[in-house]
Structure 1
Amino acid sequence: MTDELLLTFYGDDFTGSTDALEGLADNGVRAVLFMTPPTAEDLERFDDLDAVGVAGVSRTMTPEEMESELPPVFEALAELDAPIVHYKVCSTFDSSPKVGSIGTAIDIAQDVYDSPFVPVSQGTEVPHGRYVAFSDLFAEQGGDVYRIDRHPTMRDHPVTPMHESDLRRHLGEQTNRPIGRVDQRFLDDYEAAETELEETIREDEDEIVVLDALNTDHLATIGRLLWTRATETSGQLFAVGSSGLEHHALVSHWDEIGEIDRNATYFEKREPADRIAVMSGSASEETATQIDWASDHGFRLVSIDTERLVDPDEKSDARAAAVEEALAVLDEGESVVLYSARGPDDPAIDATRAAFEEHGAEESLESYLGRQQGIMFREILERSGVTRACVAGGDTSSHVISELDLDALEAIAPVAPGGPLCRAHSTTEFDGLELALKGGQVHTRNDEFDYFGVVRQGGIDRTD
């Protein structure tokens, strides 16, 4: 079975991993996302897999942590022998030499794969509004397109702000490997793109190649380029990029050559749920507005007392208070949103950080709060019997998943680009749980801020 895999991938955070999973499922590609590298026994539980992914958290790791974490994962994926191994990164490419270093990931991967070259493809016109022109990354927000170093959110990102839009220069701060590009002038014609790629690799001796993309036609060209290289040369091709590789590039070419049928999808709207539970650790403005929408549309809100939660003497009582309040709402047959912050200007953020630092904890505040919210959410799901749930926030999602002891996720219904509804696979009572993981910037395609409501409704019907 593993000989038939088209792709394996590693997501550098949990919500990004489900984004890639969605891109495959939405195009008729049967894929499963594992929480740890799967064994042969794990794979035997699933029939007719086309792709296998592993959800990771390297986006928040130091290079030293990545050097410990990534080699065994890459080695396990290598054993599955798919032609392409995709290191899935956020479409905004936010990273730094000290946190989430994509260059470090490439260095580690090349020790495992010795890929003939490492393509970097960040463009994904639809659904995320990301464009690469002459190696500069642009991102859409609120209907406007910004160069990434001037993007309202990414220029001031609290952990990895983007101060450079040229992906070659940005990546060059993270690795010493030579970096070239194939720019938009060549991507309208496959033969021209193939020739330029060959010259970049062979003549310029560039090991990493940044690929421009302004539209889906460019992505289709990239998909053909990568698949041809991966299947006509020895070894596996290690590629870095956003979910545009799944949403458009590779699936377009696979469909053209008959490897998949993009119309044969099982990715469809589910029945509405009477009630759902939402755990939000996202402090984005987008999520705050979605919480406001939920409050106005039948959801009850529970504010987590994070100042008490970071106090070693108070944390148990703070957790219990939030859990009991949430359970009371669910017992009344209503949906609930628990949240740690309501937007970036919530005064609780600074107050909680000050209290956390006062107690002298060794881990980061984000990691600590994520674990605490994971503990709370597990108890809420166990005691309430809720069968559909949602987590908002990339780091929060990773910690909640860890607390739930899930083995794998499979995308089952569209909700919003990058935030599908998934089915959990587990040996615990959470097997079959329907779960949506939402990054801070994920939102539905309409003019409403109704993400949580759409999850409750079972997703969207794309035939309407």
Structure 2
Amino acid sequence: MSDLLLAFYGDDFTGSTDVLESLSLNGVPTVLFLESPDPEDLERFDEVRAVGIAGTSRSMTPDEMGEELPAAFEALRAFDAEIVQYKVCSTFDSAPDTGSIGRAIDIGQEVFGSPFVPVVVAAPSLEPRGRYVLFGNLFATLEGTTYRLDRHPTMSQHPVTPMTEADLTEHLSEQTDREIGLLDVRSVDGNADAALRDDLETVVADNEIVFFDGLNRDHQRKVGRLIWEYCERDGRADPLFSAASSGLNYALSRHWQDTGVVSVPEAPESAGPVDQIVVMSGSASPVNRDQIDWALENGFEGVRLDTRRLVDPDEAEDAREEAIDAALTAIDDGASSLLYSARGPDDPAIERTNQRLRELDVDGERLGALLGTQQGEITRAILEATAVDRVCVAGGDTSGHVAPHLDVFALEFLVPVGPGSPLCRAASRTQAFDGLEIALKGGQVQTTNDEADFFGAVRAGGVPPE
């Protein structure tokens, strides 16, 4: 079998760093590329066992996915890994017209032609925010309460892809015409290895896509073993193709540890504190608002971005230079600089910026790209002008714009900060940014501490596991 165990495409930026973290913490050295790599790109990295591409297909239409995914899958196929994973969110939120997981499976099967597509969504390892699948229905825990997903207070009301159907087989059947089956909890919980393999073969005989139930870590280990042993028995030249959340990564890595494929790693140590960092925040979530508030009360110097002017071509340059000057002044004074576009979902700046877009006759859907470009240019200018070598970017879309402006093409895991948003070492094609320490966080991500201290934890060097 190949030395490379797994290759993956993440359907959004922060979901990709989630896989980077989960594999790295479980003894699978992983490199995450921000662009489609060539096998030669791995030569600068040591002992890599998994490789990924950070994508953006979660927000794409089916036609856009048809343009993006075939080349990405072919790039991953060239690495000759045993499994290629299309990584999806553990809430499986998707729709026929936006981020269609079914469309991704259709494209993946055109490239890989897997005998079946295992879909592992259950992720009990994410406790206390665990994800569980029972008789094909997805449940998620929020603030100590476990909800069926169609009754989840957030995901059932998602503004783009609301999850109104918790039965994953029914939900996915709206996105693909392929036959969909389920290996349910009666098999996963009760059967010995041989009987479990027989049950899987029975389901695979009639279905091209197979979901797996999972309620606990023992189920997780069984599923990981079942899928990996299928790879070993199958003996195909092409990899097994899967569409799965990080539940697959936890399941496989635990099995690899149990069987000696990888070693149980030592817990990562702190990257150590630094005097100053730069934070570029583009998230308007309540969680991120609280983190901004905490930072401003704990020694960070805030710089509000004039987003209304930044989206105006006639005023953007001046607004950008003002933000850069303010950040450099804060750094000269010995502070960490926190630049932010909004302070929570009710910030009046959001409506003022949208109003300006309407006045300019610009589609409001372009706001993220317009602001992200400006935030990327601002971040680059600040880092070029200072000796700061640690940065945090808040917001998945913002991360996707800022990293390319730093010519970052790959990330390696250093230490956890918040679930799925670790502190990483960047590989950049620009020498000044090569080796930069960077944390890319989703707006909802927080540390495991009691305080809203994510930015402080980045400055302190991470939150090593106990």
Interval containing the TM-score (normalised by the shorter chain)? over 0.9
Question: 1 CA distance for matches of 2:145 and 2:321?
Answer: 43
Look up the match of 1:153.
Answer: 154
Question: In the alignment, which of 367, 370, 374 is matched to residue 365 of structure 1?
Answer: 367
Look up the match of 1:421.
Answer: 423
Look up the match of 1:75.
Answer: 74
Look up the match of 1:62.
Answer: 61
Look up the match of 1:437.
Answer: 440
1:351 and 2:352 correspond? yes
Give the conservation status (yes or no) of the 8 Å contact 2:417–2:464. Answer: no
1:229 and 2:250 correspond? no
Question: 2 CA distance for matches of 1:408 and 1:352?
Answer: 33
SS state of the match for residue 418, structure 2?
Answer: coil
Question: 2 CA distance for matches of 1:347 and 1:381?
Answer: 29
Give the conservation status (yes or no) of the 8 Å contact 1:3–1:80. Answer: no
Question: 2 CA distance for matches of 1:347 and 1:214?
Answer: 43
Look up the match of 1:85.
Answer: 84
Task: Please report how far the alpha carbon of residue 423 of structure 1 lies from its aligned counterpart in structure 2 after TM superposition.
Answer: 0.1
**Deviation per residue, 1:107-127 (Å, 9 max, x gap):** 110000001111111121233
Question: 1 CA distance for matches of 2:294 and 2:230?
Answer: 47
Task: Please report how far the alpha carbon of residue 421 of structure 1 lies from its aligned counterpart in structure 2 after TM superposition.
Answer: 0.5
Going from structure 1 to structure 2, the CA distance change for 1:152 and 1:370 (only over 3 Å counts) comes to farther
Counterpart amino acid of residue 436 in structure 2: L
Question: 1 CA distance for matches of 2:318 and 2:245?
Answer: 41
Counterpart amino acid of residue 418 in structure 1: G
Counterpart amino acid of residue 31 in structure 1: T
Look up the match of 2:144.
Answer: 143
Question: 1 CA distance for matches of 2:199 and 2:345?
Answer: 44
Stretch moving more, 339-348 or 13-22 = 339-348
Question: In the alignment, which of 237, 250, 253 is matched to residue 252 of structure 2?
Answer: 250
SS state of the match for residue 462, structure 2?
Answer: coil
Task: Please report how far the alpha carbon of residue 264 of structure 1 lies from its aligned counterpart in structure 2 after TM superposition.
Answer: 4.6
Look up the match of 1:111.
Answer: 110
Going from structure 1 to structure 2, the CA distance change for 1:354 and 1:223 (only over 3 Å counts) comes to same
Question: 1 CA distance for matches of 2:192 and 2:313?
Answer: 60
Counterpart amino acid of residue 436 in structure 1: A
**Deviation per residue, 1:319-363 (Å, 9 max, x gap):** 222222122111211112211122222222233223213322356
Look up the match of 2:183.
Answer: 182
Look up the match of 1:273.
Answer: 274
Question: 2 CA distance for matches of 1:354 and 1:134?
Answer: 47
Q: Size of the alignment, in residue pairs?
A: 458
SS state of the match for residue 187, structure 1?
Answer: helix
Question: 2 CA distance for matches of 1:291 and 1:145?
Answer: 29
Q: Which runs of 5+ in 2 are unaligned?
A: none
Question: In the alignment, which of 406, 409, 425 is matched to residue 407 of structure 1?
Answer: 409
Q: Which runs of 5+ in 1 are unaligned?
A: none
Give the conservation status (yes or no) of the 8 Å contact 1:29–1:262. Answer: no
Identity %: 56
Task: Please report how far the alpha carbon of residue 443 of structure 1 lies from its aligned counterpart in structure 2 after TM superposition.
Answer: 1.2
- TM-score, normalised on structure 1? 0.95
Going from structure 1 to structure 2, the CA distance change for 1:209 and 1:45 (only over 3 Å counts) comes to same
SS state of the match for residue 273, structure 2?
Answer: coil
Give the conservation status (yes or no) of the 8 Å contact 1:22–1:420. Answer: yes
Going from structure 1 to structure 2, the CA distance change for 1:380 and 1:158 (only over 3 Å counts) comes to farther
Question: 1 CA distance for matches of 2:367 and 2:159?
Answer: 13
Give the conservation status (yes or no) of the 8 Å contact 2:447–2:463. Answer: no
Give the conservation status (yes or no) of the 8 Å contact 1:190–1:221. Answer: no
Look up the match of 1:393.
Answer: 395
Counterpart amino acid of residue 411 in structure 2: L
Give the conservation status (yes or no) of the 8 Å contact 1:277–1:390. Answer: yes
Question: 1 CA distance for matches of 2:169 and 2:344?
Answer: 33
Look up the match of 1:284.
Answer: 285
**Deviation per residue, 1:54-99 (Å, 9 max, x gap):** 1111111111111111111101111111110111111221221111
Going from structure 1 to structure 2, the CA distance change for 1:45 and 1:280 (only over 3 Å counts) comes to same
Look up the match of 2:93.
Answer: 94
- Over the residues paired in the alignment, what is the CA RMSD in angstroms? 1.7
Look up the match of 2:211.
Answer: 210
Task: Please report how far the alpha carbon of residue 195 of structure 1 lies from its aligned counterpart in structure 2 after TM superposition.
Answer: 2.8
Look up the match of 1:262.
Answer: 264
Look up the match of 2:308.
Answer: 307
Paired residues for 1:312-323 under 5 Å: 312-323=313-324
- TM-score, normalised on structure 2? 0.94
Counterpart amino acid of residue 185 in structure 2: Q
Question: 1 CA distance for matches of 2:183 and 2:40?
Answer: 41
Give the conservation status (yes or no) of the 8 Å contact 1:268–1:414. Answer: no
Give the conservation status (yes or no) of the 8 Å contact 2:39–2:78. Answer: no
Counterpart amino acid of residue 278 in structure 2: A
Counterpart amino acid of residue 274 in structure 2: A
